[in-house]
Amino acid sequence: MNYAKTAMLLAAMTALFMGLGYLIGGRTGMFVALAVAAVMNFWSYWGSDRAVLNMYGAQEVDQHSAPDLYAMVHGLTERAGLPMPRVFIIHEDQPNAFATGRNPENAAVAVNTGLLNRLTRDEVAGVVAHELAHIKNRDTLTMTITATLAGAVSMLANFAAFAGGSNDTRNPVGLIGSIAMMILAPLAASIVQMAISRSREYEADRIGAEISGNPIALASALAKIAGAHDDAVNVTAERNPQTAHMFIINPLSGQRMDNLFSTHPDTGNRIAALEALAAQWGVAHYSAPVPPNQAAPWGSAQRRPGPWG
């Protein structure tokens, strides 16, 4: 059901973009809009993962620089039946994580120090499994294309304001129509983008719980991340709100409820769904295994600084 909903919403986004191009420039404008969308999606397909990782100052780690985290990701990746993604750490106190990449063979998982320092090992594993679910579902590509189209709709809508004020008879909407498009088209695109994001989060929670085998740990992680949201401001996310949908919990201040204008489902609803899944499985607790000869820095009785510094 979620896949069908996502497909319909993407089709609606594409139709909105082409329709806006038609209103601005007729049939020629529609084809120009389609060409622009193709170019922007080509760029987002090949380069958006590197752009967003650079934007957040993500530092790539491996089995030598962050052995505990890397081993955890490797183990969960094997359980998910996926290629090993690149692993990154972001030096940011607000706990959060995201996945990016055009396909499972070119994917990356990024977690921040706030997440590693505040959550237990089982909770970190639940979050990583959620991000691997996004990779497995190819949500990273879907949401990148959606965000690109939403940005393109806004660009066209701004252009419509100028086109509407000209004497070009090919513009069928006029000044008033152009102003209306400038306001309503980006709003509609944002609503579609947010609806797609919410659908994918519920699905990633469910599949992530299957990968980790521990829906309760993921539910606990979501509660802790949401509870710590106001302790620190993610300045980079505030400056680049178009990336908010990538994170497991909305990193922006002033989060909203589970409605048309939220990028993420209400955290309470997600926790309730995971608890219901745990009850269905008969799972009350699960402890993710610690790699041999490696004492993980999170959730241990004697807490020590992790390899991320």
The beta-strand segments (E) located in the chain are: 59-61, 86-90, 97-101, 107-112
In angstroms, the Cα distances linking 309 to 116, 236, 299, 304 are 11, 20, 17, 10
Amino acid 65: pLDDT: 94
Contacts of 309 (CB under 8 A, 6+ apart): 91, 113
Which residues carry a binding-site annotation?
130, 134, 201
Average confidence (pLDDT) per 10 residues, the chain, 309 residues:
57 68 67 69 69 92 95 96 96 94 91 95 96 90 66 64 50 55 58 63 93 94 90 87 83 60 79 93 58 41 37
Q: How far apart are CA 171 and CA 194, in angstroms?
A: 30
**Which residue among 105, 131, 203, 238 is the active-site one?**
131
Q: Cα 229 to chain center, whole Å?
A: 17
Q: How far apart are CA 179 and CA 250, in angstroms?
A: 30
Amino acid 71: pLDDT: 95
Q: How far apart are CA 229 and CA 244, in angstroms?
A: 13
Amino acid 5: pLDDT: 55
Residues 94 and 56: beta-carbon distance below 8 Å: no
The three-state DSSP-derived secondary structure of 213-225 is CCHHHHHHHHHHH
Sheet with 97-101: strands ordered across: 59-61, 86-90, 107-112, 97-101
Amino acid 99: pLDDT: 93
Amino acid 308: pLDDT: 37
> Amino acid identity of 110?
A
Tell me the Ramachandran region of residue 119: left when phi exceeds 0, alpha when psi lies from -120 to 50, beta otherwise. beta
Q: Is there a catalytic annotation at residue 210?
A: no
Domain locations along the chain: 2-54+138-281
DSSP annotation of 250: -
Rg (CA), the chain: 21
The closest of 122, 190, 125, 181 to 151, measured between CA atoms, is 190
Which residues carry a binding-site annotation for Zn(2+)?
130, 134, 201
Sign of the CA dihedral 168, 29, 242, 258? positive
In angstroms, the Cα distances linking 103 to 83, 86, 138, 144, 160 are 10, 12, 6, 11, 35
DSSP annotation of 105: G
